[in-house]
Amino acid sequence: MAEFESKLPVSGGKNHVFEACHHVVKALRASDNNLDANLRKLLSDLESHLSTFGMVDTKVEEDTGFSDMDERFKEAVKRILGWETNQSTILEAGPSEANHFFQALYEVQTFLMGFKAFPIKTNLKEKDVYNQATVALDIAMVRLEKELCDVLYQHKQHIKPEYLAVSSRGKDIVYDESFVSLDDEVVVEASSLEDDEQTLGFQAADMVDPLIIPHIKAIANAMFACDYGRAFREAFISVRREALDEYMITLELERLSCVEVLQMDWEDLNCAMRKWTKVLKIITQVYLPSEKRLCEQILGDFDPISTACFIEISKDLILSLLNFGEAVSLRSCQPEMLESFLSMYEVSAEILLDVDNLFSEETGSFLRMAFHELSKKLANRTTTTFLKFKNAIAANESSRAFPGGGIHHLTRYVMNYLKLLPKYTDALNSLLENLEVDDSIPEKTGQDILPSTFSPMARHLRSIVTTLESSLERKAQLYADESLKFIFLMNNFHYMVQKVKGSELRHFFGDEWIRKHIARYQHNVTDYERSTWSSILSLLKDNNDSVSTLRERCRLFCLAFDDVYKNQTRWSVPDPELRDDLHISTSVKVVQSYRGFIGRNAARIGDRHIRYTCEDIENLLLDLFECLPSPRSLRSSRRR
Amino acid sequence: MRPAQDNQGSFLGRISIRRNQFVDVNNEQEQEDLELFQKHIADRFTELLSPPPPPQPPSDEANTVASVAATEQIMSVTWLRKLMDVFLCCEAEFKAILLMGRDPTQISKPPFDRLVPEMLDRSIKALDICTAVVNGIDSVRHYQRLAEIAVRALEQRPLGDGNVRRAKRALANLVIALSLEDKENVSGGGGGGGGGNKTTERSWSFGRRSGGSSAASKGGATIGQLKSTSWAVGRNWSAAKQIHAMTANLTPPRGNEAAGLPQPMFIMSTVMVFVMWVLTAAVPCQERSGLANHLPVPPKHLNWAQSLIGIHEKIGDEWKKKEKKGSAGLMEEMTRMEKLGHSLMEFADGFHYPAEKDAAESAATQVAEMAEICRRMEEELVPLQQQIREVFHRIVRSRAEILEVLEQAGKLSAPVV
């Protein structure tokens, strides 16, 4: 009969067949009380065997039948008790031993069922056996509960660590400084690190060794069949929750109260927000789908219990993840939180589909809804932060002129921040879609054909930069020296263009914008040259002057040049190419004029009165915009 | 059935409409509103203190009548759910008084520049308590499941030793879990975990992986020493400390202030702290030692506070009693569950197969009562959790609305550039 030693319970179809056989046997016996002994024995055996497989009446009236049962029952109880104190798992003992155990359990259970079906007629001995059977069954159940926990524990598998790397966007924290900490000191540009985001495909992993699933399933089937389903559930949930807790330790996710989140400083909070983003994604896209699959593999036959178990296992963690999102939303929106909020919002929106699948049933609907609510809330916070970001730029005022006319850190901050945003294109487009904006390029014109250039995000980005431009214009008014004002604007506009051209931002800002802004800083160059040099170079114009006037002109030019040199060597044009261009165009104008002047008039002025050769001028001009630390005077060092 | 909820929503719109009309504050109207508010608070808590007699069911079974009456008792699940409703009503009414038709700049001026932030600070702490309590109710649901296992086993007929053995295991775990104090409830397993109330929830009929099956086979129970990382709120969070902190600057307004807006602010804060205190006392909650001492009772002469004080005294006495011998919570169903658990344990200990008729009958009555408690928990615990979540979200929303008004006030009072 070994081939029939199957797991519990016998499937419904089979059960009917056994039941039918059983009825046939009964009917046969009832039809004729004078059956011969052999036939009677045969029927009795058949009935006893049948009772082993089907949930049918096992009441056997013949003494021979009962003693037969008794023997087998005793064997079964012995086998169960043999495992009671055995510390190794049944799984380790091998499939045949496991089968024997389940078979023994089945015998005991079948006996109990039979007894319950006809309790009144039973005699004292049978009652005693019944009592023994209840104890044996309970011992078997406790043993299986332990088996379940041990096997699940010993064969659990963790999500591989490479998933941890997934979606750690853009390395860490390019901008952890606070927006308000921007004052008029020169800050070193934060190096924006290259995004090394991996694109690992998410797929469900095995939470336990797949080989043990049939064994666990057999335990589930047995315990549910014996009405110990609740015990199975509780134990299963407990072990799996513990595994999840352990996994949370490896992810280093800490639970934070609302009070803590509100009190955290920005840097810590930023880290926590990033971690949340990462963990939420792994949990909802890898861990929980795998966990759900495990529940279904083991308890699929008992749905909705499978769903209920899954929710019990995951609920606690899910609620704490939701809670962090809620807590962060309680904070006032600071502009520097924009990217963290964006990444939180993006993930919260991205996982909605996964969450819908995880908690598709009614029982989990409150979790599903909570995620949708949270995503909406984060969308709201992100949009508010976006507007705050813009407002903060508009409100950024300086009390004194930015030294050297270099690139203001507001420009650096904003442009580098904007460079982070194309990663969130979809999120931003959906958030900003219905938000009004003044855009410098209202309609499709010129060469711009990319749709991205006219997306809501692009319009808002341009609008932010327009705000930045206005702020820079105001800062430029603080310069007493008009030339320096032009240098400042040139530097900053050039920087903006470079940042746009050299990054994905170009697809958003578009060629038209870039062209206009190049023209803009080139205009600043012309403005500078006019404002610094036109009056000086006018000294070099000939009007058939007398020698003394020429000498005076030459002297005045040198004085003016010295003055420019003294000032403008301390000015800054950080971009080397831009500086070269500026040197060349200045040099062309100044040296040409000077060479002409000297060439025509050198003899009359006399060498003694000419301080600089053309080469001197050419070389000295190269020192301009080098941002030299202290004023350099030419009179002492360069005098011939 | 929460009429006051209608007041939410577009109050900002109303403010902007009424701002112009506001200039002349109608003091009389405000006084009337404040008095009405106090009266409502008093009425609602009076009803909670002495619930109206339940409609007598035309039942002939004394049992049913008794259990219907019990549902209305202070600290029963039903009562706690009513308390949540009361809180939501008070809150909605309060918000209407605080914000509707009011010049936004008013609540940013002294003494409100101090009172409002203090109130908002309290509400954040309340949020954490809500989280902890929702988690605590999960523990109660675990007790419920243990009780159900015992009920299921003891309902078997004929009742065999095996069934009793099974029931005893569940009962032992139940009784231990119900009488554990927070500190003991915190896992002893240590390692990476913080506080938390999970051990009871994670305790099974044997010490897992530690050869506990022999203990289980004797029908005894061991509490698994499992490490737990699932503290509900934060690593070092303490419910008692939160309650204490919420009361820190909660003093009745004096002098001029007593007649104006500070009064309802004080009342609402008192109600909030009180409700949070009740919740923490009712269900298992992270770290509650000295909870009874942490609620300063509002002055007795205040009319609105009478019933609230009455409830506070009742619960406070219970808590002090329980604190001595240890208790997971004062929820009425849990208390009865504990009693029944002990008594059924006694029955189980003295059980010999076959069951003696009298003992079996009296046990059957208790089993039925336990089953009834489980049924009520099954019906009401999850809705209670949902209500607490609703309270959470309401507090969040109100805080946001108040902040919005303050921001608006900031803009209004800022000098025009």
Q: What is the per-residue pLDDT for A162?
A: 56
Q: Is A379 helix (H, G, I), strand (E, B) or coil?
A: helix
Neighbours of B54 (CB within 10 A): 12
- Residue B180 domain flag: yes
Inform me whether the pLDDT recorded for A6 exceeds 50. no
What are residue A604's phi and psi, to 5 degrees?
Answer: -75, -40
Interface touch B124/A146, C-beta < 8 Å: no
Q: Say if the Cβ atoms of B396 and A330 lie within 8 Å.
A: yes
> In B, which residues are within 8 Å of A257 by CB distance?
128, 131, 233-234, 237
Using DSSP's 3-state secondary structure scheme, residue A156 falls into strand
Tell me: pLDDT of B197 over 60. no
Lowest mean pLDDT among A308-312, A570-574, B49-53, B75-79: B49-53
Question: What proportion of chain B, given as a percentage, has pLDDT over 70?
Answer: 74
Asked whether residue B364 is domain-assigned, the answer is yes
Q: Is residue A248 predicted with pLDDT exceeding 60?
A: yes
Say whether pLDDT at B219 is over 70.
no
* Of residues B213, B216, B228, nearest to A245 (C-beta): B228
Alpha carbon of B284: minimum distance to chain A alpha carbons (Å): 15
pLDDT of residue A635: 54
pLDDT at B204 > cutoff 50: no
More confident residue, A123 or B159: B159
- Dihedral angle of Cα A597, A598, A602, A605, to the nearest 10 degrees: 60
Q: Report the pLDDT averaged over residues B166-178.
A: 94
B269: which 2 tokens?
């804060």
Average pLDDT, chain A: 83
State whether residue B309 sits within 8 Å of chain A by CB. no
Chain B residues closer than 8 Å to A330 by CB:
124, 127, 396, 399
The reported pLDDT for the residue numbered B325 is 72
- State the smallest CA–CA distance between residue B391 and chain A in angstroms: 14
Give the nearest chain A residue to B157 (CA atoms): A116
Which chain A residues are Cβ-neighbours of B206 within 8 angstroms?
142, 145-146
Answer yes or no: do B229 and A150 touch at CB < 8 A.
no
Instruction: Please give the Cα distance from A597 to A609 (Å, whole number).
Output: 13
CATH 1.20.1310 boundaries in chain A: 202-384
Mutate to test the interface with A, among B143, B217, B237 (most CBs of A within 10 A): B217
Query: A183-194 pLDDT, tens per residue?
Result: 444 443 443 333
Alpha helices in A155-212 (DSSP H): 162-165
- Examine the pLDDT at B335 and tell me if it is beyond 80: yes
Give residue A638's pLDDT: 45
Residue A168, pLDDT above cutoff 50: no
Q: Give B85 or A44, the one with higher predicted confidence.
A: B85
- Whether residues B208 and A227 touch (CB distance < 8 A) is answered with no
Kindly report the average pLDDT of chain B as a whole number.
Answer: 78
Shortest distance between the Cα of B26 and any Cα of chain A, in A, equals: 34
Nearest CA in chain A to B195: A255
**pLDDT given for residue B409 in this prediction:** 85
The pLDDT of residue A587? 93
Which pLDDT does position B165 carry in this prediction?
A: 95
Q: State which residue of chain B sits closest to A87, comparing Cα positions.
A: B211
Using an 8 Å CB-CB cutoff, list chain B residues near A311.
none
pLDDT in tens, A135-155: 999 999 999 999 999 999 999
Mean pLDDT of B21-27: 50
Assess whether pLDDT exceeds 60 at residue B182.
no
Does the residue B36 lie in any domain? Answer: no
As a whole number, mean pLDDT of residues B9-14 equals 44
User: CA of A502 to nearest chain B CA: how many angstroms apart?
Assistant: 38
Length of chain B: 417
Q: What is the pLDDT of residue B234?
A: 74
Distance of alpha carbon A517 from alpha carbon A497, whole angstroms = 7
* pLDDT for B347: 95
B163–chain A nearest CA distance, Å: 6
CB neighbours of A420 closer than 8 A, spacing ≥ 6?
Answer: A170, A174, A175, A192, A339
Beta bridge partners of A208: A156
pLDDT, tens digit, 9 for 90 and up, residues B356-395: 888 889 999 999 999 999 999 999 999 999 999 999 999 9
Which pLDDT band holds residue B71 (cuts at 50, 70, 90)?
low
- Residue A254 has what pLDDT? 85
Q: CA angle B346-B66-B170, nearest 5°?
A: 30
- What are the φ and ψ backbone dihedral angles of B257, each rounded to 5 degrees? -60, -30
CB contact (8 A) between residue A230 and residue B148: yes
- DSSP, collapsed to helix, strand or coil, labels residue A572 as strand
Higher pLDDT, A387 or A42: A387
- The CATH code belonging to domain A202-384 is 1.20.1310
Q: Does the pLDDT value for residue B310 go beyond 80?
A: yes
Helices A576-605, A482-501: inter-axial angle, 10-degree rounding: 140
Structure tokens at B191: 């390692």
Cβ–Cβ gap A366/B386 under 8 Å: yes
Parent domain of B205: 3-21+43-53+70-413
The mean pLDDT value for B280-285 works out to 91
B38, part of any domain: no
Q: For testing the chain A interface, which of B128, B163, B386 should be mutated: the one with the most A CBs within 10 Å?
A: B128
Pairwise CA distance, residues B223 & B102, whole Å: 57
Q: What is the pLDDT of residues A429-454, one digit of tens each?
A: 999 998 888 876 666 666 677 788 88
Question: Is B403's CB within 8 Å of A238's CB?
Answer: no
Find residues 190-249 of chain B whose CB sits inside 8 Å of chain A: 192-194, 202, 204-206, 208-209, 211-214, 216-217, 226-235, 237, 242
Check residue B257 and give its pLDDT.
81
DSSP A285: I
* Contacting residues for B373 by C-beta, under 8 A, at least 6 apart: B147, B333, B336, B337, B340
Q: Is the pLDDT of residue A466 over 90?
A: yes
Whether the CB of B291 is below 8 Å from some CB of chain A: the reply is no
B64 domain residue, yes or no: no
3-state secondary structure chain B: CCHHHHHCCCHHHHHHHHHHHHCCCCHHHHHHHHHHHHHHHHHHHHHHHCCCCCCCCCCCCHHHHHHHHHHCCCCCHHHHHHHHHHHHHHHHHHHHHHHCCCCHHHHHCCCHHHHHHHHHHHHHHHHHHHHHHHHHHHHHHHHHHHHHHHHHHHCCCCCCHHHHHHHHHHHHHHHHHHHCCHHHHCCCCCCCCCCCCCCCCCCCCCCCCCCCHHHHHCCCCCCCCCCCCCCCCCCCCCHHHHHHHHHCCCCCCCHHHHHCCHHHHHHHHHHHHHHHHHHHHHCCCCCCCCHHHHCCCCCCCCHHHHHHHHHHHHHHHHHHHHHHHCCCCCCHHHHHHHHHHHHHHHHHHCCCCCCCHHHHHHHHHHHHHHHHHHHHHHHHHHHHHHHHHHHHHHHHHHHHHHHHHHHHHHHHHCCCC
Residues in B closer than 8 angstroms to A251, CB to CB, are none
Q: What is the pLDDT of residue A101?
A: 93
Per-residue confidence (pLDDT) for residue A176, from 0 to 100: 44
In-domain check, residue B28 = no
**Residue range B129-133: mean pLDDT, rounded:** 95
Distance, in Å, from the CA atom of A84 to the CA atom of A141, rounded to the nearest integer, reads 10
| pLDDT: which is higher, B107 or A145 | A145
Contacts of A183 (CB under 8 A, 6+ apart): none
Q: CA B61 to CA B83: how far, in whole Å?
A: 29
Report CA-CA distances (Å) from A205 to A156, A215, A280, A292, A295: 11, 19, 16, 11, 13
Give the number of domains in chain B: 1
pLDDT in the model for residue B236: 81
pLDDT category, B101, cuts 50, 70, 90? Answer: confident
Would the pLDDT of B89 be above 80? Answer: yes
Q: Establish if B115 belongs to a structural domain.
A: yes
Instruction: Decide if B63 is inside a domain.
Output: no
Residue A540 pLDDT exceeds 80 = yes
The residue-averaged pLDDT of B115-132 equals 95
Q: How far is the CA of A329 from the CAs of A18, A261, A432, A500, in angstroms?
A: 63, 10, 19, 31
pLDDT of B259: 79
Chain B environment of A238 (Cβ under 8 Å): 202, 204, 226
Give me the helices (H) in A396-504, please.
409-420, 425-432, 456-476, 482-501
Amino acid at A275: K
Q: What pLDDT is attached to residue A524?
A: 95
Among the partner-chain residues A135, A242, A257, the one whose CB lies closest to the CB of B165 is: A135
Q: Which residue has the higher pLDDT, B258 or A574?
A: A574
- Is it the case that residue A66 has pLDDT exceeding 60? no
